[in-house]
Structure 1
Amino acid sequence: MTDSTYDTLSDPVVQSTAQRKKGVAKGEPMIRIQGLTKSYQTGPITTQVLHGIDLEIEQGDFVAIVGSSGSGKSTLMNILGCLDKPSTGDYWFKGQKVADMDPDELAQLRRGAFGFVFQQYNLLGGANAVANAELPATYTAINADERRARAEALLTRLGLAERMHHKPTELSGGQQQRVSIARALMNGGEIILADEPTGALDSQSGQEVLALLKDLSQQGHTVIVITHDHEVAAHADRVIELKDGHITSDKRYRDRSPDAESTPPAGPGVSQPNSVLDLARAFLTAFSALRQNIFRTALTLLGIVIGVAAVISMLAIGQGARQDVVDRISAMGSNLLSVFPGAPNQRGRWGVATLMPEDADAINEIPEVLAAVPELTGNRTLRREGFDKEAQVNATYASFPIARQWDVAQGSFFTQEDEELYATVAVIGQTVARQLFPDRDPLGEVMLINNVLFRVIGVMSERGASPWGQDQDDVVFVPFSTGSLRLFGQRWVRNITVAAVSSDPQVMQTANDKVHSLLLERHGVEDFTIRNMASIIETATETQNTMTLLLGIIAVISLVVGGIGVMNIMLVSVTERTREIGIRMAVGAKRAQIRLQFLIEAVTVALLGGVIGVALGLGITWVIASFGTSVVFATTPVLLAFGCSFLTGLIFGYVPARKAAQLDPVQALASE
């Protein structure tokens, strides 16, 4: 491999003189540390790794820090690269005190000034060579096209033109190390920190990497190699030896490159991207991470999908049940008043003889009343040619169809004349017609009601079940005069149904008040109870709304459980990807950017789960509706469920995201 292979910054795609970094002030070393110590606390035991290190490194130096295992060289590298902080002592970088920098400023310094080359390469396993090389630039304002072009140019110069779209597992050790060097140079790589760069390589690959580092030093990069191998250290211009946390020797064997100070390396610009770019790149990173582990993503989605689907289907069923009850009550007549015998709250009022048909006649004189009919009801046995059944018999007035808004499907209803003549005629419901006359048209047929012969003159239209589950079509209507005399043997009525001229609440209330006053005047005491159908509908609606709310709460609880699942799996994800987080921090990602990435992953999962859950919920609701269950498709539950899924991802994703952002870079990089 020739030297020209390593001419990484001579190409105009790679270098821009307008973007050169600020150099070191005259007389000021690039790196200066004084009295630096580092200690680690393990329970009650304190272990001091570095003891009072004093060191200066000039711009363009090619330095090897050599020492045996445990000498403190890797700890020193981490401090030099701003991945770790000293316990005591001072560290100046280009004259600026590093201890005065906050975590974001340290991240910006790592992103703009340092490039790391690790012994184990520390490449992202799910990304190809180009994506790994361009990683540091993803945290800058460089656009995607420029970032990709620079990464490809660097990889090409490093002899990886044919392998740049391969993942780390498809590359040899030497190729992976060259990818890590390209990553180190992506933002300029003013200082290259190489930790045992040849430790995992064969001898030939190791020599190539050392030659590359030498060439980078000659181009103006400051190269610091951490090694235990004196043969590797011999390639450096300056060798610093560490033993037990002390510098035991510091020898310069060759002078720095004459161009080191005059031509500092330049990057493409490392300014911080705006929030929109951060958000867009975080979404792309999140999608990439989710795609790499489909099974875990599917498990994360499952809880959200079930929760959202439950919210939509349960609310749709609840709303459908409410609407069904309201429709059934309304079908009975939303303009109705029902008058019952007995004082309000009196038990056993059905047997109280306080209402008479004359009360209904008097109520009919009220202007706001369309029709008032007495009803005398009870179960009686019906017979016809060997068939018999029990059904409800209702003795009422001829104006019953008007009062109850119930049409006759066949034949006709009995008349006032039938009432006056005590005619034995009957109008039957659809259930009675099917069961008593299954093989013939019931009109004109005769039947026995309690052994009294009645002729069928009409069949009512089908009404279905009442809100209380009673079959309204299993009924026989007869003239009040006939029924009271020949079937029930009494004149007092079970109830009086009053139809107002309008269902307008004001008209209904006026009719209610006038009926109350009239009956109070006629009876002298309040021995009756009036129920307003509008009030019944309102009460039923409130009850069903409460049930719907209960169903919604249960569904939301399932969504919360799904959110807890998201949090747990995301916490597992953070643990599994600790090294990845350390790599991202090492190349300059701020804590906020790490937090944003993991938070967006959680939100993305929640939103994706929301979309699938909405589709599943609507599908379940449609299937349930196809079986005849009343459901109501509405936009509000869908928006509510989708909004809840977003909030679930946001709320339950924050804890894992915060945990990821708070990781220590050094410990994260050391994680297996």
Structure 2
Amino acid sequence: MEDQHQAPPLIELTGLRKSYGGQEGEPSVEILHGIDLTIRAGEFVAIVGASGSGKSTLMHILGCLDRASAGIYRFSGQDISSFAADELAWLRREAFGFVFQGYHLIRTLDASHNVQVPAVYAGTPVESRQERAQALLERLGLGERGGHRPGQLSGGQQQRVSIARALMNGGHVILADEPTGALDSQSGVEVMALLRELADAGHTIILITHDPAVAAQARRVVRISDGRIVEDRGASRPEAAAAPSLDTRHFMAHMAQGVAHGASWLADVREALGSAWKTLWVSRFRTLLTLLGIVIGVASVIVLMAVGRGASEDMLQKMAAFGNTHRMSIRPDTYGTRGLRSVLTEADVRLVREVPNVDIAMPFLTGNAMLRANATDASTALWSMGHEGARLFNWKLARGMFFSAEDEARIATVVVLGKTVSERFFAGQNPVGQYVLLNSVPFRVIGELAETGEPDGDNLVAIPFATASRRVLGTPYPGLIQVKVHDPERISQTVADLTEVLIQSHRVKDFAVANNPARAKQQNEAARQQSLLLALIAGISLVVGGIGIMNIMLMAVKERTREIGIRMATGARQRDIQRQFITEAVMVSVVGGVVGVVIGLIVGVVLIAWDVPVIFSIRAMLLAFGCAVATGLVFGFMPARQAARLDPVVALAGE
């Protein structure tokens, strides 16, 4: 087994240089000028220098937060200059623990969850990391403070939380950047005592400081000035047994496995959801404002599509009440250059009746007649038709019966009264069996129509066509041929067939067809298109809501730049950061979508109570909700991608 002296140094820098600038015409400024430094596992090293000497830049490179411009950096014998971003993230997570001057705790998380962050990205089970975080906090005297957020802790307590976080994944190498700089003297003494204790336990401690008195507490002091090492004194070997470090013999295999496999996808999603909820809850007022666009959009789509569908169905029901969805009519038309007016005959009725898909074909003639009953005279609308008129118009009878084919054949003087006419002349009495005069011709009332709700259907009297043409209106020609079809979907072919039959009979097209089923279909399609148009207009608010989400998330990236840097420093991969921000955006849209669906249903119920025709559609609800989620995903992607691509060292310096 390799001993400490035979193993490669833990950290070995050779000719390390770091420059900034040199792009887009900017001058290049070199900060580090050929640093050569070797640090073995278990050493307690202080890197000391004045402000601007390059010590913080060196620490960022040592901790894999930044890359050198030139030179070689070997960690555990491996040159890390070619490591990808996820490989560097794994190295930060497994090898390093950071203790910063400004503590760098995530403000939305309590002390326990701040300590657990590195273990989250390492895929440690929840129970295990909670137990370890609690044990570390108790070890550092913060056992009762695990549920406190950073703002509820003193500076010394926050720094101890950051030390516990540095130890969470083992803390092989602890990089402490001015750990006492923001503390009072007593807290500073306590933190240094902790670092010495960790060094005695075998952890590799690299202390960055400008204070010679603090540096003197380390076992080895490296002095840096103007980007060069000017002094290296003290122990070059650890005095205590080093803590178990990364296995140098299987380093690359271990890293490849760690990069490829973290926590399960379910655990990743659960962690992302939990973190997103905490973050959004802390900024709940702003989150609520962001939700409004999604809520309004989803509710509007649901309500407008429900109202549009309800209006369309209501229209079809009203048309169906008079048989309009299956009925069409043929009327005489002009023909020839002299505009001659044609006529229709009962022979035409018989021809039409033989056309395939025709259920009913009957002559129809309307006019006005003077009606007298119970010493009351009034002009009323007279409808004359065949005995199947009630079925054609979808009429119901309140009393009595409709006239029959036998009544037609014997030119019977029988009449059926509409509801309004019956109430006007008989004042609620049963008119069946009574006699009335139509243009001075006595007629026996045989039936009363049920109320249709339409003025034309209630304010009329109906008699057989044969009786009207010979005894009341005085014309043998039907004004229309009313036709009812079996299947309205075949209406176009039916119109073509009867047109052909009548042209063969008349030798000229001297008639016109009023196609009610086609018109009903067109009106229904127009209503559907209008409903969709309204839904699209409402959907604009979803887009506006999505833009609001993107705007808020872009602001969040800017405001939480340091948090992103902290997460990267503790081992978050780019995809972890991207997943976190996408999850927050999708969570906002999901919550907004759910609230929007509920509000849409409530508004719909209120409209129903106000007798507005409303028909809810599960498909519309799913569509609106799905669009809301997709909106969050699409508009949240760009901010999430921007957050994931931040440079860790730049992010840590952000405000």
TM-score, structure 1 as length reference:
0.85
- Residue in 2 aligned with 1:13? none
Structure 1 segment 144-159 matched on structure 2, within 5 A: 144-159=126-141
Q: Counterpart of 1:290 in 2: which secondary structure?
A: helix
Residue in structure 2 matching 1:372, options 342, 361, 367: 361
- Residue in 1 aligned with 2:451? 462
Structure 2 residue 65 is the aligned partner of structure 1 residue 83: yes
- Residue in 2 aligned with 1:315? 305
Shift, 1:200, TM fit: 1.1
- Residue in 1 aligned with 2:431? 443
- Residue in 2 aligned with 1:5? none
- Determine if contact 1:219/1:265 at 8 Å carries over to the other structure: no
Q: Counterpart of 1:99 in 2: which secondary structure?
A: coil
- Residue in 1 aligned with 2:458? 473
- Determine if contact 1:189/1:265 at 8 Å carries over to the other structure: no
Counterpart Cα distance in 1 of 2:130 and 2:42? 28
Counterpart Cα distance in 2 of 1:25 and 1:539? 90
- Which deviates more from structure 2 when the two are superposed, residues 320-329 or residues 85-94? 320-329
- Determine if contact 1:25/1:94 at 8 Å carries over to the other structure: no
Shift, 1:473, TM fit: 3.1
Counterpart Cα distance in 2 of 1:365 and 1:106? 86
Structure 2 residue 377 is the aligned partner of structure 1 residue 397: no
Q: Which amino acid aligns with 1:443?
A: P
- Which deviates more from structure 2 when the two are superposed, residues 334-343 or residues 91-100? 334-343
Shift, 1:485, TM fit: 6.8
Counterpart Cα distance in 2 of 1:218 and 1:201? 23
- Residue in 2 aligned with 1:569? 552
Shift, 1:526, TM fit: 2.1
Structure 1 segment 218-229 matched on structure 2, within 5 A: 218-229=200-211
- Determine if contact 2:589/2:629 at 8 Å carries over to the other structure: yes
Deviation sequence 1:8-28 (CA, Å, 0-9, x none): xxxxxxxxxxxxxx9978253
- Residue in 2 aligned with 1:635? 618
Counterpart Cα distance in 2 of 1:560 and 1:485? 68
Counterpart Cα distance in 1 of 2:640 and 2:377? 74
Shift, 1:437, TM fit: 5.5
- Residue in 2 aligned with 1:524? 507
Shift, 1:152, TM fit: 0.7
Counterpart Cα distance in 2 of 1:57 and 1:367? 99
Alignment CA distance shift 1:570-1:393 (3 Å) = farther
Q: Counterpart of 2:143 in 1: which secondary structure?
A: coil
- Residue in 2 aligned with 1:102? 84
Residue in structure 1 matching 2:289, options 269, 281, 299: 299
Counterpart Cα distance in 2 of 1:371 and 1:539? 23
- Residue in 2 aligned with 1:559? 542
Structure 2 residue 19 is the aligned partner of structure 1 residue 39: yes
Counterpart Cα distance in 1 of 2:513 and 2:198? 98
- Determine if contact 2:374/2:425 at 8 Å carries over to the other structure: no
Q: Counterpart of 1:443 in 2: which secondary structure?
A: coil
Alignment CA distance shift 1:203-1:463 (3 Å) = same
Structure 2 residue 240 is the aligned partner of structure 1 residue 259: yes
| Runs of 5+ consecutive residues of structure 2 not aligned to the other structure | 248-253
Alpha-carbon RMSD: 3.5
Q: Counterpart of 1:134 in 2: which secondary structure?
A: helix
- Determine if contact 1:341/1:354 at 8 Å carries over to the other structure: yes
TM-score, structure 2 as length reference:
0.87
Counterpart Cα distance in 1 of 2:414 and 2:220? 122
- Which deviates more from structure 2 when the two are superposed, residues 25-34 or residues 640-649? 25-34
Q: Which amino acid aligns with 1:61?
A: E
- Determine if contact 1:24/1:94 at 8 Å carries over to the other structure: no
Q: Which amino acid aligns with 1:297?
A: T
Q: Counterpart of 2:272 in 1: which secondary structure?
A: helix
Q: Counterpart of 1:204 in 2: which secondary structure?
A: helix
- Residue in 1 aligned with 2:416? 427
- Residue in 1 aligned with 2:251? none
Shift, 1:356, TM fit: 3.1
- Which deviates more from structure 2 when the two are superposed, residues 160-169 or residues 269-278? 269-278
Alignment CA distance shift 1:273-1:25 (3 Å) = farther
- Residue in 1 aligned with 2:399? 410
Q: Counterpart of 1:499 in 2: which secondary structure?
A: strand
Counterpart Cα distance in 2 of 1:343 and 1:587? 89
Alignment CA distance shift 1:137-1:544 (3 Å) = same
- Which deviates more from structure 2 when the two are superposed, residues 531-540 or residues 277-286? 531-540
- Residue in 2 aligned with 1:29? 9
Structure 2 residue 585 is the aligned partner of structure 1 residue 595: no
Q: Counterpart of 1:273 in 2: which secondary structure?
A: coil
Q: Counterpart of 2:107 in 1: which secondary structure?
A: coil
Q: Which amino acid aligns with 1:36?
A: L
User: How many corresponding residue pairs?
Assistant: 638
Shift, 1:302, TM fit: 1.8
Q: Counterpart of 2:81 in 1: which secondary structure?
A: helix
Residue in structure 2 matching 1:286, options 276, 283, 286: 276
- Residue in 1 aligned with 2:160? 178
Q: Which amino acid aligns with 2:479?
A: R
Alignment CA distance shift 1:293-1:431 (3 Å) = farther
Alignment CA distance shift 1:505-1:294 (3 Å) = closer
Residue in structure 2 matching 1:651, options 601, 622, 634: 634
Shift, 1:67, TM fit: 1.8
- Determine if contact 1:221/1:265 at 8 Å carries over to the other structure: no
Shift, 1:388, TM fit: 9.1
Alignment CA distance shift 1:331-1:164 (3 Å) = same
Alignment CA distance shift 1:58-1:389 (3 Å) = farther
Q: Which amino acid aligns with 2:81?
A: A
- Determine if contact 1:219/1:263 at 8 Å carries over to the other structure: no
- Residue in 2 aligned with 1:497? 482
- Determine if contact 1:404/1:499 at 8 Å carries over to the other structure: no
- Residue in 2 aligned with 1:11? none
Shift, 1:487, TM fit: 7.0
Counterpart Cα distance in 2 of 1:247 and 1:510? 96
Deviation sequence 1:37-87 (CA, Å, 0-9, x none): 222229734433222222222222211122222222111111111111122
Shift, 1:648, TM fit: 1.6
- Determine if contact 1:343/1:529 at 8 Å carries over to the other structure: no
Q: Which amino acid aligns with 2:568?
A: M
Shift, 1:116, TM fit: 0.4
Q: Which amino acid aligns with 2:598?
A: A
Structure 2 residue 38 is the aligned partner of structure 1 residue 50: no
Alignment CA distance shift 1:330-1:659 (3 Å) = same
- Determine if contact 1:396/1:478 at 8 Å carries over to the other structure: yes
Q: Which amino acid aligns with 1:372?
A: A
Structure 2 residue 210 is the aligned partner of structure 1 residue 210: no
- Which deviates more from structure 2 when the two are superposed, residues 153-162 or residues 309-318? 309-318
- Residue in 1 aligned with 2:250? none
- Which deviates more from structure 2 when the two are superposed, residues 532-541 or residues 288-297? 532-541
Structure 2 residue 650 is the aligned partner of structure 1 residue 667: yes
Counterpart Cα distance in 2 of 1:514 and 1:157? 95
Counterpart Cα distance in 2 of 1:24 and 1:277? 38
Q: Which amino acid aligns with 2:241?
A: A
Identity of aligned residues (%): 47
Counterpart Cα distance in 2 of 1:401 and 1:411? 13
Q: Counterpart of 2:458 in 1: which secondary structure?
A: coil
- Which deviates more from structure 2 when the two are superposed, residues 633-642 or residues 579-588? 633-642
Residue in structure 2 matching 1:169, options 144, 151, 168: 151
- Residue in 2 aligned with 1:17? none
Alignment CA distance shift 1:509-1:72 (3 Å) = closer
- Determine if contact 2:374/2:426 at 8 Å carries over to the other structure: no
- Residue in 2 aligned with 1:111? 93
Counterpart Cα distance in 2 of 1:620 and 1:197? 58
Structure 1 segment 129-148 matched on structure 2, within 5 A: 129-148=111-130
